[in-house]
Structure 1
Amino acid sequence: MPRITGDSLVEHRAQLRGRVFEAFAELMAERSFDAISMAQIAERAGLGRTAIYHHFHDKEQVVLGFAADGTEAYLEQLEVALGEVDDPAERLRTYVRHQVENSHQFHMGLGPQLYAVLSPAAQVAIRDHVVQVEAALRGILTDGLERGAFRVDDLDATLSLIQACLAPRGLPLPAVEAFVLRAVGADG
């Protein structure tokens, strides 16, 4: 019988999932998704070759779990960052800063190349994670519009354009912040 490493079965499973996700992230940094096997993930995570299948049926489930875990952590950190901020422009600035400074941590390797090899059902599931993050931005923009702090003609287009501006490009954060705030007509 396998040894439980946490204080409870729930903690043990959380630790195991964390090791699998860490192993997956390391392997994705080294090679393409197609070149990674479940056996490699299991070995890197310190699991037996078959033990990983008790938790994940295939690599696609690992990707979906990894994405869900990352989205949850990202949104928790964003909520903390926004917690004490009331001014709409400062909330948008905080969102932009959080996205630019933390995207590498949460979006590693989950770009168009990986998305294209996933099943249609997995693509929908991944898109749901993007929608959760976009919902936070939508809330900030809607609040700013209602309070008269922003001027936006098309909320959906603005949301998409802001997200496109926040893709990793190595641009200086102050320039990105200033551009996004000007785009919504925010003062300051």
Structure 2
Amino acid sequence: MPKISAPTVAEHRAAQRAALVEAGGRILVEDGMAGITARTVTERAGLARSSFYDYFPSKDDLLVAIAIDVFAAWDAEIEQALAEVEAGLPKLRALVDATMAMTADGRHDLAGALREADLHPSRYEDLMVMHDALLRPLVQVLADAGEAEPERSAMLVQGVLGAGIQLVTHGVDHRQVAADVYRVLTRGCSGRRNATRRRRAGRSRGAACRAAPRRVKPVLRMQRPGRLGPPIGGEPAGGMDLRS
């Protein structure tokens, strides 16, 4: 009978399982999906190889357990970063800053490695449900700010955040990326300042229109007082243009 190293059998099993999940996460980051086997995980955890199957019937089950831990930790840190921040654009900025800072700290590495998982369709659906749950803080930020359709807008904002995460993982400073992401979300890719400079250069209005790049509209607009306006494509309702 194996030696129980905790006050109760339940606590012992929980500790053993947690050790396997932690070991699997470290291997995933270091060696990728190919490094995950029952042998490598139990060796890293300091457990007998047979113990792997006492907790995880398959490799897929271990990967889902790792993902649950990753998503739960990410969600908790985002919630903490937003806890004392004023609703509206300040909270959106706090979310952007926290997302990029956590990525720079390596908190997104496991999530990136998990993308390589070739899971059974049923387990993949489990992962997608958890991934969708990660949108909840963003949806709440938009809803608290008065966004009419926060779920739809959250998908658009998530796309910009994902692009920012890629920049950070490729070495761009997370503070600069956070500032750029926030600017794109609230002001778009081209502000009025550039148009003013073109006019001051003496171009005619028609020439300026032909020469200027096509403006990418901001993802979010503000309505009075301090409410996020309609998503891309919606008609502004007394909105205040943040690009000024």
Do they fold alike, i.e. is TM over 0.5? yes
Deviations 1:71-130 (A, max 9, x none): 112212222221111232222222222222223225426447513x22222222222222
Name the structure 2 match of 1:47. 47
Q: Tell me which moved more, 82-91 or 39-48.
A: 82-91
Q: 1:177 to 1:101 in 2, by over 3 A?
A: closer
Q: Tell me which moved more, 48-57 or 34-43.
A: 34-43
Q: 1:164 to 1:122 in 2, by over 3 A?
A: farther
Unaligned stretches of 5+ residues in structure 1: none
Helix, strand or coil for the counterpart of 2:78?
A: helix
**Contact 1:28/1:109 (CA < 8 Å) preserved in 2?**
no
Q: Tell me which moved more, 174-183 or 127-136.
A: 174-183
Normalized per residue, the structure richer in helix is 1
What is the alpha-carbon distance in structure 1 between the residues aligned to residue 112 and residue 63 of structure 2? 9
Kindly provide the amino acid, as one letter, of the partner of residue 121 in structure 2. P
RMSD over aligned CA atoms reads 2.7
Q: 1:47 to 1:106 in 2, by over 3 A?
A: farther
Name the structure 1 match of 2:7. 7
What is the alpha-carbon distance in structure 2 between the residues aligned to residue 42 and residue 2 of structure 1? 15
Name the structure 2 match of 1:166. 165
Alignment of 1:36-75 (within 5 A): 36-75=36-75
Q: Which has the higher contact order (CA 8 A, sep 6+)?
A: 1
**Contact 2:43/2:49 (CA < 8 Å) preserved in 1?**
yes
Kindly provide the amino acid, as one letter, of the partner of residue 24 in structure 2. F
TM-score, normalised with respect to structure 1: 0.81
Displacement of 1:65 after TM fit?
A: 0.2
Larger radius of gyration: 2
Q: Percent identity?
A: 24
Alignment of 1:1-188 (within 5 A): 1-103=1-103, 104-108=106-110, 110-111=112-113, 114-115=116-117, 117-146=118-147, 155=153, 156-167=155-166, 168-185=169-186
Kindly provide the amino acid, as one letter, of the partner of residue 163 in structure 1. G
Kindly provide the amino acid, as one letter, of the partner of residue 124 in structure 1. E
